[in-house]
Amino acid sequence: MHPSEKKFFTTPLTRFAPTIADISGVEAPAMSPEERVDEIKELVALKTGRSSVDKVVVYNPDALGAWFIDKYTEMFRPLKEKSDLRVDYLTMFPPKTPVCFGTMFTGATPAQHGIQAYVKPHLKIDSLFDRWAAAGKKTAMVSVAGQSIPLLFQGRNIDYFLYATDGAVIDKTVELINSGEYDVIEAYVMEYDTVMHLTHPKSVFAKNAAKRHVKGFERIYDAMRNSYGDCDSFLAFAPDHGVHREWYLLGNHGKNIPEDMNLSHFYTVFPGKKD
């Protein structure tokens, strides 16, 4: 077993939102903690010589937990090789999609944001999407329609691009990056989560879905490298929770166990060409 399967990580996911706010040059959402993920800020400073970047892309593939990424070394090699930094987080309990993304984009705990089960309300508390919009950042959300992120964070002053499939989400994300029009892009895909619930976390079908999430990362990475050359940009590979296999053999998540709670994010900074 990998360490990520048996020992709980310690950095709480609440620190993601205020840290990303700092490195995008905007105020932190109101319920964020004071603590930051210092390694992220240090990486940005080291690679750009500044405290914030010009463009941010947050890629959210659902349910790719730390143990899965550690187990399938070859599958995730492109992710690990292209990223500058891995940060291990303890996600929020219960490790369900809306609970975790509710925290990821607000810095609030489930007790504060109020989502403590698989429900997808319109979440009206202050979020990264509100802070980006208030700071005049042109922001796009690209997502599979009807899912947690577009439902929780509906009604913000951002542009929504909602589709039926992951493939359409990645295509649009790449198109928006290449257009250069947006300061911030959030992209959500979900095939691994869907397929592992129908089978189990290590099924051939689930692994093929996970490979497509890695391919999506590579397409986003390449688009940023090719199109964001004149500015400093930041890419986050940011899943929400892990998964485990139940006694009745299907994949699931929602328990207070390391397989479900341990999360690894991967971050990349592309420094712009300096004159």
Binding site for Zn ion (CB under 5 A): 62-63, 97, 240
Nearer to Zn ion, 147 or 268 (CB): 147
Nearer to Zn ion, 133 or 145 (CB): 145
CB of 54 to Zn ion, least distance (A): 30
Rounded Cα gap, residues 205 and 194, in angstroms:
10
What is residue 41's three-state secondary structure? helix
Report the residue number whose CB is nearest to Zn ion. Answer: 97
Cβ burial of 79 (10 Å; 0-12, 13-18, 19+) is buried
Rounded Cα gap, residues 266 and 70, in angstroms:
13
Rounded Cα gap, residues 181 and 60, in angstroms:
21
Rounded Cα gap, residues 236 and 173, in angstroms:
14
Nearer to Zn ion, 20 or 63 (CB): 63
Nearer to Zn ion, 105 or 182 (CB): 105
CB of 154 to Zn ion, least distance (A): 18
CB of 47 to Zn ion, least distance (A): 30
CB of 183 to Zn ion, least distance (A): 26
Q: Are strands 184-189 and 55-61 parallel, antiparallel or unpaired?
A: parallel
